[in-house]
Structure formats: structure tokens, C-alpha cells
Amino acid sequence: MEVSYDKESRKIVQAIERFARKHSLWVLAYGTGCGAIEVPPTMTSRYDAERFGIRGAATPRQADVLLITGYLSVKTLKRVIRTYEQMQDPKYVIGFGSCTINGGMYWDSYNTIKLLDMYIPVDVYINGCMPRPEAVISGFIELQKVIAEGKAEGARKYKENLDWYRANQQKIIHNWNMPDYNW
Amino acid sequence: MEVKLQVENEILDKIKHTFHSAEVSIPRKQRVEVKLRNDLIHPFLAYLKDTLGFKHLSHISTVDWLEENEIELVYIVMNYDNLVEVIAKIRLDREKPEIPTLREFWPQIETYEREIHEMYGVNFLGHGNLTDFILEDWEGIPPMRRDFDTVKYAKETYFNRPGREDAQDVRTTITKKSGEEIPELAKVYSVRHLE
Amino acid sequence: MDSSTWLKILGYIITPITAFVVGVTYGGIVRVITARVQNRFGPPITQNFWDIIKLYSKKTAVHHGLMQHWGPVFAITASVTSLFFIPVLKDSPLWLNNSFNGDIIFLLYMMVFGSLGMALGAGQTGNPNSAIGVARGLALMVGYEVPFVLALVAIMIQFKTTSIAELMAVQDGFSNWLIFQSPFAFIAAILAFLGMMHYAPFDVTFAPAEIASGPASEFGGKYLALMQTSGSIFTFAKLVLFTDIFLGGAGDLVTLIVKTFLLYMIPVLTGIVNPRYRTEQAITFFWKWPTVFGIIAILIVVL
């Protein structure tokens, strides 16, 4: 059931929603890449990402941000897709490290993907091999800016172009035995 | 020197005495290298483990001898008492590599054998759990064999970021941008031949 | 309707709102205190408000069955209902709520209801972590309910009343507080309170590092927001209950907030510096010293 609001009140609600989303990012760190080692210092006392409302989430259902820390092999990509589809809207993805951008040092590997945004939509990339915690926090602040502008539309893009994403995913995952999640 | 290698020589003598067909050598201190017939690896490792006290399996390594059409398995076992490592090498037919499993000696060997099965296509008879390990749904020749073209496969299977697919040399790009010239000496090292 | 009825209705409206605001603010302060203890700067105090607003604004499209939707609703119903039967302020018709003769016994039942609802809801999600969390939570409840009930029974026998309002009337001076009148009951109750608040060392139920936040692991978005809201309200309700029974209640809101905050610091500061007990260790703990203190309290009163 769609509830119709008048434009002004909708605007105010949206502003509050965006402010809350921006200041409360619960992170699901997918830590199979080398970058997982940069996440603990980001969260703990030296760099303390909780200052910005960034907090770890225990399960995909509770998370807002999927942090892909480094390279993904075909096997882990399958799990990432499953995790991403279990997350609830609005959801964002941060690609972390060179490997998610262009393959990094695994550019000629037979088993790692080179371009993360062909398989799941990425809102913010953090480059570096590995990015230091300062860079990670600056990436999160960039994501906050994108959310405040209302441009973090990765999940919507994924839903609209699902066939294209599915074709790319099934090009490398041959044995597609995953359930369909009803978002 | 001869005195120092006393332990190694004792082991060498014992192995030679038991397995006449084995080629045994001592490449350096605390190391004994044994080349075996395929069917002898089972009794040989049993002998090492039970009689000579080599209780620790360090590793199994694999070498693909493409030119000789053979695949070499290298078993490395160690003795805690005298810290000598024995390297046992066997050669399998590359077209149909098969060898009985060693799970009854060391249960942890299962993981090594699964990985070798996946990466080199060696079939371990009686293993019972040679399912997908790291690669899922892999089709075609195993990726660690030398006739597998990694770069070609990666380019065909995965998407590449434009500007990255030709594996540009970083130094050439930087010098082009800054207008410097590469010295003659360094040119040899700055050009990468991929194809 | 006369003015007292209207006052009562107004009380029903502002009590849960006050409980929510105070409970969530306490949560934010706890996060800052935890951060400072861990040598961090910590989030702003309003952080928990933004978290809850964000969770309410999330879309939720998970369906595991009817009880999954009802579980968080049961939890918040139990919290708000418990709150409605606790007199928040002394001798104030606006804040007296539904206090009646026998509300202590009613609360003993009502406070369990939310956990049972959550257990049913989490059980239906089918997540193994939820099932483990529910089992641990109910086991822990069996542990801390024993000393808690013993302490309350001791007090009920001592003052021959089952009404919180009458207990508050008894404590009409600093030296008459129940914490001084029946110290053994207070010790038993405060140790049970540590378990009730689910802070370390008694946080096996939600242990995020072990079982992925336990009963909540399959709940996201609005369900989690409902659970956090209910948690905040329930925290406040429990704090007010303990203040009413042991610390003489409060005549005005400022006193109430000072007393509840100091009381809240006991489980919080215990939790920050302690590791986690295993379930059986926690139950053993509750059935050992707090139970002994509770029995001593009853014996002193009876003999």
C-alpha cells in the first residue's frame, strides 16, 4: 500500500531519514581478502570509526554497508552475492583496495574477479593496496556525502538491471544453486 | 664433513638396504633425498614412519614435468629426534596420474591430497572426499598444470578494467608523462614480454 | 469524565515516551562511557536515536512466519505493559500509572512475557544462532529469577504488602530506604539485576562474536528497531522498579534520573571490565551466592 504524502512533509521526512542513515552505518565486513586486517584498527581505539556512527553488524539482515575487503575469488563471490541479497534496503557496498577496482596484483589470476561492479553495484571505492585506516574512514565519509546527496542508489540499480547482473554472475558461477530472495 | 653427516648416512644405508631400487642421495645436512618407484611409496613411508621414526609429515609438493610428460609428487617427512628430513619423490604418468591415498598414515594428508587433486588433477585412489575444495565448479584442465594459459583464461573469463588489460609497464607510463628518458641499461628490465 | 481520568490517560501517553527518551539516552551515554574506558572518543550521545530512526526507515521484506512478525511486538507490549504497572514518581497521580495492590506479583510474570515472545519469534526464523541464543537466554532467566524472586518475597513478608506504592510509602526518609532496612534482599536483587540487564559477564544471550547477536540475528530493519525500542523502555522500567523498591522512589523527575542513572552504572561498569561467562557458569553463579543471600534475607525476616 502506497501512502501519498504532500511534497513538503515528504521532503522533511526524507531529510531526517537521510541524516539518520548517514550517521548510522552498520558495517558487514566481508573479510576474506587481505584488507580484513585493516578493519580492526579502524574500529578500535586508535582510529575509532564509531565517532562517525560506524559500527559492526553481526548479520546481513542488520547491516547497511557491505565492505568487500580485497580480492574475491569465484567461490567467495557466490557468497558475497548471497549476503548482498539478504541485506535489507537501503544498502550500500564499499569496494576496498585495488583488487576490487581492477584486479590489483591478481590481474592475471585464473580464479579472482577483476571488476567488482560488474557483479554487484558499488557505491564507493577506496583505492590502495592496502588502504590504511585513514583512507578507509575517508571512504566512509565519502559514502556519507553520497547518502546525504541521495545518490547512493546502488540497490535500486541492482533491482532494475537484475538480468544484466545475473548474466554477468552466471557467466562465471556455473552451478547456480542459490535461492531467490524476495527483497 | 663426513663425520657431521653421520646420522644422514646411517639413514641412507638403512633405506638402501631395504629398498634396493631406490636412488638415495644427501643434498645437504639434515636432508636425504630418495627417488622411488611409484608402487613403493606406500611401503616406503610406512617403513620411515614405523621403523625409522619419521613421524611428522611436513608437506606434499607437486611438480609438473611437461617436457617429460610426467607429474612428480614430493613427500617431505621429518624425524623429531635427529631433525632429518626425508624427501621422497615419485613420478606419475601425466595423462592419467593415479596413486593410492596415504590417509591411513596421516589423517591430515586429506587436505593436501584434495588440493593436489584440484590443482593438478592427480587422482588419489581410496581418498573418498575428492570434492570441490578451493575452486568451485572448475571445468577444463586443472589450473596449476603448465599447459594451462593463465593470462588467456583470465582475459576470456573475467571483465577487465580498460587500460589494465594490456598490462602496461608502470615505468614507461611514468616516464612518458614526466618526459624523462629511460636509460639504455634499464630498458631491458622495463619491457615485459607477456605473449 | 473527571480530571483524574484525564490525568491518567495523559500519564499513559507520556510515561512510555519519557521511558523511551531516557532509555535511549542512557544507551548513548553507555556507549560513550564504554568508548572512554577503551581509550576511544566514542560516538555522540544521540547516536542511539539515529540508529533507531535509521532502523525504522529501513525497508523490511523478510518473512519466516507469523510469530516472526509478532515476536518484537510481544516484546514491546510486555515492556510498555510492565511500565504501566510501575509507579514512576511518588504520590503523583500523573505518574502513578496503574499501580494496584499486588503489582509486584503481576510484574514478576509480566517481565518474563517479553522474553518468551521474543523466544517464540526468534524460534520461528529457523536460524540456528537464534535457537542457541533463545536457549541461552531462557536458561539465564531460570538462573536470575531465583534470587530475584527470593529477594522480593523477603521484602513482601517483611512489610506485609505486595504493592509498590505502599513500599514507597514505607521508605519516607534516607535511613528508611529498603537498601538499609533489608540489605541482604538488596544484594540478592542487585546481583540478579546484573543478569537481567544482559551486560557482561552475563551477555551470553546476544554475544555477537559467538552467535551473531543470537535471537536478533534474523531480525533487521523495523523489527530490530522495535526490539531496541522495547529494550530501552524495559531498561528504564527495570531501573524505576529497583529505584522504587530499594532506593525509596523519587518525588520528582530529577531525583528519579539521578537515582536510576547511578543504579544503571552498576551493571554497565561491571560489564565493561568483565569478560563473558558461559551459560552454565552464569547459572551456577546465580544459584550460589545471590540465592544464599536471598535465603538469608527470608530467614532474617521469618525468624
Instruction: Please answer whether residues A96 and A67 qualify as being in contact, where contact means their C-beta atoms are separated by less than 8 angstroms.
Output: yes
pLDDT score of B195 more than 80: no
Inform me whether the C-beta atom of residue A14 falls under 8 Å from chain C C-beta atoms.
Answer: no
Contact A174 B139 (CB under 8 A): yes
Nearest by CB: A21 against C38, C54, C224: C54
List chain A residues with pLDDT less than 50. Answer: 1, 183
Inform me whether the C-beta atom of residue A170 falls under 8 Å from chain B C-beta atoms.
Answer: no
Strands (E), B17-147: 23-28, 31-35, 56-65, 70-78, 85-93, 98-100, 123-125
Q: Provide the grid cell at C3.
A: 480530571
Q: What does the pLDDT read at residue C25? A: 92
Q: Which residue from B45, B55, B46, B52 is spatially nearest to B12, judged by alpha carbons?
A: B52
Tens digits of residue pLDDT in C113-127: 878 888 888 878 878
Question: How much of chain C, in percent, has pLDDT values that exceed 90?
Answer: 2
Contact C221 A58 (CB under 8 A): no
In B, minimum Cα distance to A106 occurs at B154
In A, minimum Cα distance to C40 occurs at A45
pLDDT score of C247 more than 60: yes
Mean pLDDT value across residues C250-268? 87
Whole-model pTM?
0.81
Least confident range from B71-75, B111-115, C54-58, C218-222: namely C218-222
Nearest by CB: B161 against A78, A101, A112: A101
Q: Provide the grid cell at C160.
A: 506485609
DSSP string, C5-68: HHHHHHHHHHHHHHHHHHHHHHHHHHHHHHHHHTT-----TTHHHHHHHHHHHS-----S-HHH
Cα–Cα distance, C229 to C72 (Å, whole number): 10
Q: What does the pLDDT read at residue B22? A: 82
Query: What distance in Å separates residue C134's CA from the closest CA in chain A?
Result: 16
Tens digits of residue pLDDT in C14-39: 888 888 999 999 989 999 998 988 88
Query: What distance in Å separates residue C35's CA from the closest CA in chain A?
Result: 8
Q: What does the pLDDT read at residue A5? A: 62
Q: What does the pLDDT read at residue C82? A: 87
Mean pLDDT value across residues C217-238? 87
Instruction: Please answer whether residues A33 and A67 qualify as being in contact, where contact means their C-beta atoms are separated by less than 8 angstroms.
Output: no
In B, minimum Cα distance to A98 occurs at B161
Within 8 A of A40 by CB-CB distance, chain C residues are: none
pLDDT score of C1 more than 70: no
Inform me whether the C-beta atom of residue A5 falls under 8 Å from chain B C-beta atoms.
Answer: no
- The interface pTM score, or ipTM, of the predicted complex is 0.85
Q: Name the interface residues of B facing A (CB cutoff 8 Å).
A: 134-137, 139, 143, 148, 150-151, 153-154, 157-161, 164, 167
Q: What does the pLDDT read at residue B2? A: 53
Query: What distance in Å separates residue A79's CA from the closest CA in chain C?
Result: 17
Q: Provide the grid cell at C23.
A: 532509555
Mean pLDDT value across residues C71-84? 87
Contact B161 A74 (CB under 8 A): no
Q: What does the pLDDT read at residue B193? A: 43
Mean pLDDT value across residues B44-53? 86
Task: Please give the interface size between A and B, counted as residue pairs whose CB atoms are below 8 Å apart.
Answer: 59
Grid-cell match 552475492, residue found: A81
Chains that touch A (3 or more CB pairs under 8 A): B, C
Tens digits of residue pLDDT in B96-143: 888 888 888 888 888 888 888 888 888 888 888 888 888 887 888 888
Strand, coil or helix: C212:
coil
What's chain C's Rg over C-alpha atoms?
19
Tens digits of residue pLDDT in B1-41: 455 778 888 888 888 888 888 888 888 888 888 888 888 88
Q: What does the pLDDT read at residue C128? A: 86
Mutate to test the interface with A, among B152, B153, B158 (most CBs of A within 10 A): B158
Inform me whether the C-beta atom of residue A7 falls under 8 Å from chain C C-beta atoms.
Answer: no
Q: Provide the grid cell at B70.
A: 610426467
Inform me whether the C-beta atom of residue A127 falls under 8 Å from chain B C-beta atoms.
Answer: no
Burial of A147 (0-12, 13-18, 19+ CB in 10 A): buried
Contact C51 A182 (CB under 8 A): no
pLDDT class of C249 with cuts at 50, 70, 90: confident
In A, minimum Cα distance to B133 occurs at A75
**What is the 3-state secondary structure of A10-63?**
HHHHHHHHHHHHHCCEEEEEECCCHHHHHHHHHHCCCCCHHHHCEEECCCHHHC
Helix C47-57 vs helix C221-246: angle between axes, to the nearest 10 degrees? 140
Helix and strand totals (H; E) in chain C: 12, 0
* CATH number for domain B6-140, candidates 3.30.460.80, 2.40.160.10, 3.20.20.10, 3.30.70.20: 3.30.460.80
Q: What does the pLDDT read at residue B194? A: 40
Inform me whether the C-beta atom of residue A5 falls under 8 Å from chain C C-beta atoms.
Answer: no
Strand, coil or helix: A8:
helix
Pairwise pLDDT comparison (C100 vs B168), residue with the higher score:
C100
Catalogue all structural domains in chain A, each as residue range(s) with its CATH number.
Answer: 14-172 (3.40.50.12280)
Mean pLDDT value across residues C70-85? 86
Q: What does the pLDDT read at residue C248? A: 79
Nearest by CB: A175 against B137, B153, B160: B137
Inform me whether the C-beta atom of residue A126 falls under 8 Å from chain B C-beta atoms.
Answer: no
Within 8 A of B150 by CB-CB distance, chain A residues are: 108-110
Within 8 A of C219 by CB-CB distance, chain A residues are: 61-62
Tens digits of residue pLDDT in B143-194: 888 888 887 888 888 887 776 655 556 666 667 777 777 666 666 554 444 4
Domain range annotation of chain B: 6-140, 149-195
Nearest by CB: C59 against A20, A51, A89: A89
Q: What does the pLDDT read at residue A183? A: 47
Within 8 A of C208 by CB-CB distance, chain A residues are: 56, 58
Residues 6+ apart with CB under 8 A from C48: C24, C25, C27, C28, C31, C228, C232
Within 8 A of A75 by CB-CB distance, chain B residues are: 134-136
Q: What does the pLDDT read at residue A75? A: 87
CA atoms within 13 A on the CB side of C266: 17
Q: Which residue from A60, A73, A62, A66 is spatially nearest to A34, judged by alpha carbons?
A: A73
Q: What does the pLDDT read at residue B145? A: 85
